[in-house]
Chain A
Amino acid sequence: MSGGTADEGVATGETLMEVDGMSKYFQSEGGFLASLRGAADVKAVDDVTFDIKKGETLALVGESGCGKSTLARTILQLHRPTEGSIRFKGTDLTDLSSREIRPLRQDMQMVFQDPHSSLNPRLKVGQIIEEPMKAHDMYDAAGRRERAEKLLESVGLEAAHYHRYPHEFSGGQRQRVNLARAFSTDPEIIMCDEPTSALDVSVQAQVLNVMKRLQDEFGVTYLFISHDMSVVRYVADRVAVMYLGHVAELAEKEALFENPKHPYTRALLDSIPVPDPRSTGERGTLAGDVPSPTNPPSGCRFRTRCPKLIQPGTYDVTREELADDAAGAALQSYDLDEPTWRNVIGFVRAVDRRSFTLENVEDSPDAVRAFLDERFFAGSTPSGEPADVIDDAARLLAEERWDEAADHLRTTFEEPSICAARRPAYVLEEDVEEERFVACHLYRDSETDSSH
C-alpha cells in the first residue's frame, strides 16, 4: 500500500531510507569570527549512518541533548543537513531543492509531542485532518471529507467529531487527531516525536495501541523518538540509542534490551526504576553530566563517563590519532589489572568533577596521597609509572592546583586510550539476520570494522 509518489513500491522489510554520514550543526552565538572558524558550532548530530526499513518501527532513544529530535527532523528535511546524504526510495533528498522536496512530503509526515499546540484552535478537527490532503491536491472536497471521517473512526473517535474544535477534546484524543492528520496522505513514513510523553499513563496506552493498529492497517513506517525506554520496548522493532550526536548502538529490540552491548545502553537501562518492589537488580547509576555539544569529547563521546573505558596500550594507536598533549603524556606501559584500572579511572574522574574535598586532610603530599589511597585505591593500588603520575597529582592537589592535577591525570590515563583517539563504529554479525551496530571499541575484535 504505497503512497502518492513514484511506483517503485518498496516491499516490506526492504530499505526505505538510507542515512549516510549525516551531520547537522547549528551555530551558536560567538560572534562573527568564531562562527567563521566553526568553533562555536553545536554539533547536534555528527556523522550518522543507518537504514530505515519499510514497515518497521525504528525508535531513536536517548536523553536530552543527544540529538534524536534533530536527527529525525533533518531526515525529514525540516532542517537541511550540514553534511551527508539521505536517500529516500533511491533519491538523495539533499540534492533536491525545497521546491522539489515539497511533493515528497506527502510521503513523510509527523506527529509532535504537545497535543495542545499542534492543532490550530480555529479550525474544526475535520478541517485539520484534511489540510495535508489539500496541500497535496489529493482527492476532491467530497473525497477528502469522506477520508477524514474514516480516519476519525480509525483512530477511535467518531465521524461526527468532524465538526468539533480541538479544545473540546482531551489530550489523548487530540493526539489521535494528530495521528489521523498524519495518516491522511497515506505516507510511507511518519516521524513521531515523543507522541505520548505529555499524556497520562492510562491515556498513553490507548494512543500507543491506536498507533500500532494503524501501522498494521496502513503498513506505514514509524520513526519513533522517545526518552522513555518502557514505551520503546512496547512499540519498537529496532532501537537506535543516541548519545551526544552519535549513535551508540543500533539493534533489534529484544537483542538490545536483553543483551545491551554498549556501556551507555547498559547504563541507561540500568537506571530505569522498575515498577516492582521485589525486583532484585541493583539500579545502576551513571555519574557525571553530559558534556557540552559545542566541545564534545574526542573519539567516543561517552568516554568521559564510561565505566568500561579501555586502558591505553590495549590497542595500538598511532601518534597522529592522539591529541598532542595526550601523545606526550602517554606512559610507556600501563599494564594495570582490571580492578586497579577501574580505581584509577574513578580517581581521575573524581578529580575532574571535584566530587571530593581535601578540607580535612593535611596539606602535605604524603597526607594527601594516603587519603587518596584509602578513598580510591583500597584493594588495588597501582605501581610503577602510573603510581608516579598519581604521586604527581597528589602533590598538585596538596597545593590546591586541581585544574592542573585533573589535566595531568586526564592526559595520562584517558586521552591516550583508543576510546579518545578514534571514533568507534562496528557492525557485528550476530546469529540473527539483523546486523547489530555498536559504537564501542570493546567490540573491536568482533567481526566487521566499519569505522571511518
Chain B
Amino acid sequence: MTLLRYTIRRILQAIPVLIGISFITFVLVNALPGDPVAIMLEGQEVDQETIEAVERRYGLDRPFHERFVTYMLGLIQGDLGYSFHRDMPVSTLMWIRLGPTLLLVISAFVFALVTAVPLGVLAAKRRNEPTDHVSRIIALIGVSTPSFWIGIMLILIFAVWLGWLPSGRLVYPWRDPAHYGFDGRLELYYQTIRHLLLPMVALGTLQMATIMRIERSSMVESLQEEYVQLARAYGVPERTILRKHAFRSAQLPIITIVGLNLSTALGGAVLIETVFEINGMGRLLIQSIQQLDYQVVMGVTIVLATIFVIGVIITDISYAYVDPRVSYGDRD
C-alpha cells in the first residue's frame, strides 16, 4: 500500500473517532448544571413567555437526540452553531481565536525540539558526566513544575522586575503593522518574537523536558547497537557516528512521543493563554464553559479534538515514512 492510500485510510478511520468525540462532548455539555438561558438573561426581569421564546430560538426546547442530529448536520456544512453570549457564529469566533493558539502551540513545540534534541544527544554522548547530570536536573524541574507557575514566574522576573519583555498578549505577524502602530514589517516581527518568548517557554518546558530525556535514552540505546559498533570498527569518526549512524534510528520514539504530547500541549495552552491573557481558543474554552455557552464549548472541543487527531495521523505517517521497516498495512 502506498503512503497515499495509507494516509486516506487513516483519515477515514478518524471520522468515526470525531463523531464519537462530538457525541460525548454533547452529552457532557448538556449534563452541565446551570441554565444557559438564565445566564443570558441575567439581571433582566423576564416572564415565562420570553424565557420560552429564547429557548425556542436556540432550539433548547427540543429533545436531546434531535438537537444532536441538528448539530451534526450543521457541523458537516461548517456551521458550528451560534454563540449565545457573544452574539456571533461560532465558526467566526473559532477563526479569530485559532491563530493565536496555533502560533503559541507551534512555537512552543519548535522551542522544545530545538532545545531538547541537541541537549539530549549531548547528554547521551557525555553519559554520566557533569553535562548529563545537569540536563537531568533541568528535565526534572521541567517535568515537575506546573506550566502556569513557570509562566507567572517568568512574568515576574522578566516583565516586572527586569522589564525586558512584555507581560502578556501577543502580537500577530499576519496583521498589518499599522494596526499596532509599528513602522514596517521588521518591527512587527521583532515584537511578535518579544511577546512570544515568555509564553512559548512556559508552554514548551514540559515538552522540552520529556523530549530531552527520551532523546537521551534513545541515543544511549542507539549508541550501543551492533551496527554502531561496526561503524566504529570501520573507522568512522565519532562525530559521524553520533550525527548519522546513531541519530536517525534513535528518532523513532521521539516522533511517537511528540505526537502523543500534542494533547498535553493543547491542554497546557489553555492555562498559558489565561496567564498571559492571550485571546486564543484555550481562553475561549474556559470563558464559554463559565458562561455555559454550549455551542462555543462544543465548537472549541471539536476543533481541538480535530487538531489532535490530525496530529496523531501526521505522527503515524511520519513514523511509517521514516522507519523503512514499518509496513503500511498490506503485505507486498
Contacts and interface: CB of A to CB of B under 8 A. Distances in A.
Q: Do chains A and B touch in the complex (CB under 8 A)?
A: yes
- Interface centre among B327, B329, B330, B331, by most A CB within 10 Å? B331
A406 to B, nearest CB: 19
Interface string A29-48: 11100100000100000000
Nearest to B9: A31
Contacts of B327: 29
Interface in B273-332: 327, 329-331
A451 interface: no
Contacts of A31: 329-330
A91 interface: no
Contacts of B331: 28-30, 34, 40, 294
Nearest to A31: B330
B24 to A, nearest CB: 27
Contacts of A40: 331
Contacts of B330: 29-31, 34
SS of B interface (majority) = loop
Nearest to A30: B331
Nearest to B328: A29
Contacts of A29: 327, 329-331
A30 B331 CA distance: 5
SS of A interface (majority) = loop
A93 B293 CA distance: 65
A28 B330 CA distance: 9
A29 B330 CA distance: 6
A34 B329 CA distance: 12
Interface in A238-266: none
A40 B330 CA distance: 10
A31 B330 CA distance: 6
Contacts of A34: 330-331
Contacts of A28: 331
A30 B330 CA distance: 5
Interface residues of B, number: 4
Q: Size band of the A side of the interface? A: under 10
Interface string B174-206: 000000000000000000000000000000000
A69 to B, nearest CB: 22
Interface string A2-41: 0000000000000000000000000011110010000010
Interface in A177-222: none
B8 to A, nearest CB: 14
A34 B1 CA distance: 13
Contacts of A30: 330-331
A40 B331 CA distance: 8
Contacts of A294: 331
A71 B330 CA distance: 27
A40 B327 CA distance: 15
A251 B24 CA distance: 66
B12 to A, nearest CB: 14
A30 B329 CA distance: 7
Nearest to B332: A30
Contacts of B329: 29, 31
Nearest to A28: B331
A34 B327 CA distance: 16
A54 B331 CA distance: 43
B261 to A, nearest CB: 28
A40 B332 CA distance: 10
A30 B1 CA distance: 10
A34 B332 CA distance: 12
B325 to A, nearest CB: 13
Nearest to A40: B331
A29 B6 CA distance: 14
A34 to B, nearest CB: 8
- Interface centre among A28, A29, A34, A40, by most B CB within 10 Å? A29
Interface string B74-95: 0000000000000000000000
A8 to B, nearest CB: 46
Nearest to B327: A29
A108 B327 CA distance: 38
A293 to B, nearest CB: 12
B313 to A, nearest CB: 19
A294 B329 CA distance: 16
Interface string B217-251: 00000000000000000000000000000000000
B9 to A, nearest CB: 10
B324 to A, nearest CB: 16
Interface string A385-415: 0000000000000000000000000000000
Interface in A154-181: none
B316 to A, nearest CB: 16
- Interface centre among A31, A40, A294, by most B CB within 10 Å? A31
Interface string B118-152: 00000000000000000000000000000000000
A40 B329 CA distance: 12
A294 B330 CA distance: 13
Nearest to A294: B331
A29 B1 CA distance: 12
Nearest to A39: B331
A42 B175 CA distance: 60
B13 to A, nearest CB: 13
A39 to B, nearest CB: 10
A29 B329 CA distance: 7
A142 to B, nearest CB: 49
Interface string B45-56: 000000000000
A29 B331 CA distance: 6
Interface string B250-288: 000000000000000000000000000000000000000
Nearest to B1: A31
A28 B332 CA distance: 11
Interface in A280-313: 294
A89 B327 CA distance: 45
A25 to B, nearest CB: 15
B320 to A, nearest CB: 14
B327 to A, nearest CB: 7
A140 B149 CA distance: 63
B52 to A, nearest CB: 52
A436 B87 CA distance: 90
A127 to B, nearest CB: 34
A44 B329 CA distance: 21
A398 B208 CA distance: 60
A160 B209 CA distance: 51
B6 to A, nearest CB: 12
A252 B106 CA distance: 71
A31 B5 CA distance: 13
Nearest to B331: A30
A294 B327 CA distance: 17
Closest 10 CB pairs of A and B: A30-B331, A29-B331, A31-B330, A40-B331, A28-B331, A30-B330, A29-B329, A31-B329, A29-B327, A29-B330
Given A28-B331, A29-B327, A34-B331, 10 more contacts: A29-B329, A29-B330, A29-B331, A30-B330, A30-B331, A31-B329, A31-B330, A34-B330, A40-B331, A294-B331
Interface of A: 28-31, 34, 40, 294
6 contacts: A29-B330, A29-B331, A31-B329, A31-B330, A34-B330, A40-B331
